[in-house]
Amino acid sequence: MNNPQTRFPSNSTEDPTWAQAIKHRLATSVIGHKILCYTRTSSTSDIAKDLAGTENKEGVVIIAREQTQGRGRLHGDHPRKWYSPPGGLYASILLRPTISPNQAPCLSLVCAIAVTNVLLKQYNISAGIKWPNDVLINDKKICGVLAEGSTRNESLRYVIVGIGINVNVTSQSLRKGAQSSGTSMLIELGTELSITEVICHVLEEFEKLYIEFIEHDLSKLLHSYRSLLLTLGQWIKIQTIDETLEGIAQDIDSNGSLILQLADNSVRQIYSGEVIMSKRI
């Protein structure tokens, strides 16, 4: 049994009324069968990790209006920070997919497709994806996705997909958090939106794509993913764990890896990295 202290961190304030409102509006069958909402917490992904010890059924969703220790992907040994002021949407989904551990990173691509589809179709915001899973509008980041998996005896125990979306975050707030290169739905549309509605759209779209992914791996979703990618066919510079490479972003393979054609025409498969520059050719 988990220590309640860790399960509900002391700086967390639960908001069961908000959880009920989301459940009432949500039209999904698995994702969000249980929802825990917080006004403020350290990181929704930490709470989800803690719950993974006791919650056997996948689809539990943890949502917060503010995070004090929101994190992004690892950079060396340290996670990058995800600036998480009030006005943003911070959510983590506990999943137990029956896939091999090396397929787990694909879930962040699936989630990036879901968020981008919602921005495009529900809000008419022309968003695209920067490989692997940043959602951008005019080169400005509006959403980041983080998939963290846990394995035992070489099989996947669970994956937590964390989603941060700047919904009603103002440009002043982004400046204050040193994220002037980011944007928000409020900035793009000039109007505040219901965070409840945004999370319901995202969870509904994610569930649809997650089921397709489980049934057919990434193959059925690759076409959508490619069409949303901003850098395909472009000359890019990419920072991997141990080197910086430049070349043409040729394609994405069925594991979600980027296929990069270098200047000498050799081809590299990049599993993870950060695109730091791109230009049309």
Binding site for ligand BT5 (CB under 6 A): 43-45, 67, 70-73, 80-83, 90-92, 134, 141, 144-146, 162-164, 166, 179, 182
CB of 68 or CB of 100, closer to ligand BT5: 68
Question: Can you read off the two tokens belonging to residue 4?
Answer: 């309640």
Coil, strand, or helix at residue 7?
helix
Q: DSSP state, 189?
A: H
Question: From the CA atom positions of the chain, what is the Rg in Å?
Answer: 18
CB of 216 or CB of 229, closer to ligand BT5: 229
CB 10 within 8 A of CB 38: no
* CB-based contacts of 211, cutoff 8 Å, min separation 6: none
> CB of 162: closest distance to ligand BT5 in angstroms?
3
CB of 142 or CB of 209, closer to ligand BT5: 142
Longest Cα separation, the chain: 59
> CB of 198: closest distance to ligand BT5 in angstroms?
13
> CB of 145: closest distance to ligand BT5 in angstroms?
6
CB of 155 or CB of 244, closer to ligand BT5: 244
* CB-based contacts of 213, cutoff 8 Å, min separation 6: 97, 106, 107, 110, 220, 221
**What are the beta bridge partners of residue 236?**
247, 278
Strands 128-130 and 134-137: antiparallel
**How far lies 56's CA from each of 23, 49, 51, 158, 213, in Å?**
20, 12, 9, 10, 20
> CB of 105: closest distance to ligand BT5 in angstroms?
12
> CB of 137: closest distance to ligand BT5 in angstroms?
11
> CB of 203: closest distance to ligand BT5 in angstroms?
13
Question: Can you read off the two tokens belonging to residue 216?
Answer: 């057919």
**3-class SS shares of the chain: helix, strand, coil, % to 5:** 30, 35, 35
> CB of 6: closest distance to ligand BT5 in angstroms?
15
Distance of CA 221 to the CA centre of its chain: 16
CB of 136 or CB of 248, closer to ligand BT5: 136
CB of 57 or CB of 80, closer to ligand BT5: 80
CB of 93 or CB of 99, closer to ligand BT5: 93
CB atoms under 10 Å from CB of 76, counted, come to 6
